[in-house]
A and B are shown apart, each in its own frame.
Chain A
């Protein structure tokens, strides 16, 4: 059993310490544990929109800043050319909705693939949601600490 395809909840400082594996560019390691997806919650502190291309933003959870990218090029990218036009349009609409919600100062929960960009790790966002509950960040911190101590660290030892 592993957590390779699981969205692991990580504090930003822990996420930023992930290292890429040499054999597989889509695979990152936390103390030897193989990971490919992550979930985080934080305050949106930077936002750079390239219409029709991408939204690049940063979330700050108090332990670090995680760079995120939300692709907005679904209707022009050849990557989606084999998929049905209606589902691509639906994905593009959803991404545009996320992009309009991600504004400076909001608290966002993001999930996506862990990817490398210019030597650092980032989240390539597959879904995002605004958190309106003021306790959401605190509950996420508690989840991250509990999961790291009771789950991720144990898997690391088993896998090592």
Chain B
């Protein structure tokens, strides 16, 4: 993918990737984190969970050894299937076992708040 056209993977939790969420848009880029619950070797589709939310991730383009029970981060584009279910087509992924997940979620909110503040200052 050309560097000039690539979109940053927006920071979201899996709870924000449901059909009722404003983030649920075809082709939108996201960065997600979750624990591998299931992995289908034939289809390369993984199901990741974060609390009570889960999401499907297509890992066919990744060269990763996915271990159920381990924590992974993926960046990719959301594809909405005909049954209105979302699947993230991962471009990159990595194991993040050892990540302080509470600190990650708190800092994610802080970064979003900071971005909104800076946008307000610049448009003032």
A and B pair up:
yes
Binary interface encoding of chain B residues 84-123 relative to chain A, with 1 for a CB under 8 A from any of its CBs, else 0? 0000000111111111100110011011001100100110
The answer to whether B10 has its CB under 8 Å from any CB of chain A is yes
A-B interface, 8 closest residue pairs, ranked by CB to CB distance from nearest: A105-B92, A134-B99, A134-B96, A62-B11, A58-B3, A46-B3, A145-B114, A64-B8
B8: contacting residue among A57, A61, A120, A148, CB under 8 A: A61
A11 proximity list for chain B (CB < 8 A): 111, 114-115
CB-defined A-B contacts under 8 Å, sample of 16: A43-B75, A45-B9, A46-B3, A46-B6, A56-B3, A57-B3, A60-B9, A62-B11, A63-B11, A65-B7, A120-B4, A135-B98, A138-B99, A141-B107, A141-B110, A142-B107
A122 to B10, CA, bound (A): 20
The answer to whether B2 has its CB under 8 Å from any CB of chain A is yes
For residues 1 through 28 of chain B, which have their beta carbon under 8 Å from a beta carbon of chain A? 1-4, 6-11
With A60-B31, A67-B3, A67-B4 known, 10 other A-B pairs at CB within 8 A are: A31-B121, A45-B75, A46-B1, A46-B2, A62-B11, A63-B8, A63-B111, A104-B91, A105-B92, A105-B93
The answer to whether A6 has its CB under 8 Å from any CB of chain B is no
Residue contact A135 to B103, C-beta cutoff 8 Å: yes
Residue contact A134 to B98, C-beta cutoff 8 Å: yes
Binary interface encoding of chain A residues 133-144 relative to chain B, with 1 for a CB under 8 A from any of its CBs, else 0? 111001001100
Chain B residues close to A by CB (< 8 Å): 1-4, 6-11, 31, 62, 71, 73, 75, 91-100, 103-104, 107-108, 110-111, 114-115, 118, 121-122
Residue of A nearest to B112 (CB): A63
A63 proximity list for chain B (CB < 8 A): 8, 11, 111, 115
Asked whether A142 and B8 contact (CB < 8 A) given A17-B122, A105-B93, the answer is: no
Residue of A nearest to B100 (CB): A135
The answer to whether A8 has its CB under 8 Å from any CB of chain B is no
